């Protein structure tokens, strides 16, 4: 078994496209997004007898709290035996030392409670990405389900199926938005329409008090993915104004609702419901198998289905789950300590976690 630096985008993305879970954050294109914002990607391929059995894209993060490698929804492995995982962890630690990092933070797209040994790691005090994902299967059964079937055995959903699976109130709000005169525009050139989105996003950030992506990040992501026809920006128009907007990534047969924003000026107009429904039906027409809403608040009382109302994602959870779908719980983020500086960072992050309400 060898672990090498990847140099071929086609080979990388081809492997990713054949896996059960294909997060676009591990795509070659996403690495170029980070490169454009000043954070270099590190791409490792796990080779077994000349065949790729894993990929792992890490980003060098020069954070003040501790320089580290961040692995967003990776690694992606077709072999998850202890030998393969241990070899990759060892290689990542060596690479982190070369980049003068004090630790590696790994947020794998692995199902929670999966029996995958991760030696020499510690549970991270913070999550790197959402670990409780809400998604709509667009094929039955979905590739993300536990039921193992061939592509020929999967049945593509239709709009009626999806409407039936929604909460009644969500269906009514979609129809109400149409009656109120809301129209949805798909931007043929997302980069040219980015400024209205950024303005709405800044308003949303101030209203909900979260830490946003930078404008440079938005621009780089839209530019790189649009060039591959893997990004769509939607705008909801009302009274000749854009009152809601979103950016969706669609790659490897999956659509992800990645960024959203809206104005409080027309808070009684349910434009975001019609916007999401448009994006979902577009994913269905593309033949995608999953529509990924990303993070929701976790259930803290499984017997009664009670969610954590104080969780930062609590506000969007009702909105997202109203469209119907299923929960995917992922393995908690892991850290690979590289030197003793990590433990100072860890202490700071434990305090930060408490302040943020996670």
Residue-wise DSSP of 68-116: EEEEET--EES---HHHHHHHHHHHHHHHHHTT-SEEEEE---BTT---
**Collapsed DSSP state (helix, strand, coil) of residue 350:** helix
- Give 126's pLDDT tier (boundaries 50, 70, 90): confident
Same domain, 216 and 314: yes
For residue 186, the surrounding DSSP H or E stretch is strand 183-187
- Radius of gyration for the alpha carbons in the chain, expressed in angstroms and rounded: 21
Query: Taking 80 as the threshold, does the pLDDT of residue 261 lie above it?
Result: yes
Please tell me whether residues 110 and 174 are part of one structural domain. Answer: no
pLDDT in tens, 22-77: 999 999 999 999 999 999 999 999 999 999 999 999 999 998 888 999 999 999 99
Instruction: Based on the fold, state whether residues 42 and 156 are members of the same structural domain.
Output: no
Q: Which domain holds residue 242?
A: 133-329
Judge if 40 and 158 occupy the same domain. Answer: no
User: 242: which strand partners?
Assistant: 237
Residues 124 and 140 in one domain: no
Q: What is the pLDDT of residues 131-166, one digit of tens each?
A: 999 999 999 878 787 676 777 678 889 999 999 999
The pLDDT, as a whole number, for residue 221 is: 98
CB 269 within 8 A of CB 275: no
Same domain for 266 and 186: yes
Residue 212 pLDDT class (50, 70, 90 cuts): confident
Average pLDDT in the chain? 93
Residue 164 has, within 13 A of its CA and on its CB side, a CA count of 5
Pairing relationship of beta strands 76-77 and 68-72 according to DSSP bridges = unpaired
Which percentage of the chain shows pLDDT scores above 90? 80
Q: What token pair was written down for 41?
A: 């990607």
Instruction: Check residue 124 and give its pLDDT.
Output: 95
Alpha carbon distances (Å) from 195 to 146, 190, 192, 285, 310: 41, 10, 8, 28, 32
Q: Are residues 154 and 290 in the same domain?
A: yes
3-state secondary structure of 212: coil
DSSP structure class, residue 18: T
CA 161 – CA 240 distance, rounded (Å): 33
Question: Do 236 and 117 fall into the same domain?
Answer: no
Dist CA 289 CA 83 (whole Å): 32
CATH of the domain at 60: 3.40.630.30
Beta bridge partners of 184: 236
How does pLDDT run across 275-306, given as a tens digit for each residue? 999 999 999 999 999 999 999 988 766 656 66
As a whole number, mean pLDDT of residues 199-204 equals 94
Instruction: Reply yes or no on whether the pLDDT at 315 is more than 90.
Output: no
Q: How many helices (H) and strands (E) does the chain have?
A: 10, 19
Q: Based on the domain organization, do 147 and 240 belong to the same domain?
A: yes
- Three-state DSSP at 243 gives strand
- Residues 197 and 269 both lie in one domain: yes
Number of domains in the chain: 2
pTM: 0.93
Same domain, 149 and 139: yes
Question: Residue 356: is its pLDDT beyond 90?
Answer: no
Specify whether 46 is located in the same domain as 64: yes
pLDDT for 202 beyond 70:
yes
């Amino acid at each position: 078994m060898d672990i090498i630096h990847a140099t071929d985008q086609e080979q990388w993305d081809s492997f990713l496209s054949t896996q059960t879970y294909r997060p676009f954050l591990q795509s070659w294109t996403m690495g170029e997004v980070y490169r454009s914002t000043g954070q270099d990607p590190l791409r490792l391929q796990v080779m077994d007898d000349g065949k790729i059995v894993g990929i792992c894209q890490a980003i060098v993060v020069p954070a003040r709290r501790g320089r580290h490698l961040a692995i967003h929804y990776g690694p992606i492995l077709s072999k998850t035996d202890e030998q393969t995982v241990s070899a990759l962890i060892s290689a990542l630690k060596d690479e982190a030392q070369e980049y003068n990092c004090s630790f590696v933070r790994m947020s794998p797209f692995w199902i929670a409670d999966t029996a995958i040994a991760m030696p020499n790691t510690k549970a991270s005090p913070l999550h790197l990405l959402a670990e409780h994902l809400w998604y709509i299967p667009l094929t039955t059964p979905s590739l993300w389900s536990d039921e193992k079937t061939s592509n020929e055995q999967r049945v593509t959903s239709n709009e009626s199926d999806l409407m039936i699976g929604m909460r009644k109130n969500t269906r009514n709000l979609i129809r109400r938005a149409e009656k109120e005169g809301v129209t949805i525009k798909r931007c043929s050139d997302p980069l040219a329409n980015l400024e209205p989105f950024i303005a709405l996003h800044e308003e949303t950030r101030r209203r909900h008090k979260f830490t946003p992506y930078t404008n440079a990040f938005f621009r780089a992501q839209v530019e790189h993915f649009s060039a591959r026809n893997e990004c769509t920006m939607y705008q909801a128009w009302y009274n000749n104004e854009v009152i809601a907007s979103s950016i969706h990534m669609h790659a490897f047969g999956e659509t992800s609702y990645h960024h959203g924003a809206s104005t409080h000026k027309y808070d009684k107009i349910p434009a975001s419901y019609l916007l999401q429904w448009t994006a979902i039906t577009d994913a269905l027409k593309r033949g995608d198998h999953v529509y990924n809403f990303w993070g929701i608040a976790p259930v803290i009382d499984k017997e009664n289905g009670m969610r954590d109302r104080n969780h930062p994602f609590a506000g969007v959870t009702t909105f997202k789950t109203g469209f119907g779908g299923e929960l995917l719980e992922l393995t908690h983020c892991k850290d690979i300590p590289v030197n003793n500086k990590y433990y100072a960072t860890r202490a700071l992050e434990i305090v930060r976690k408490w302040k943020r309400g996670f």
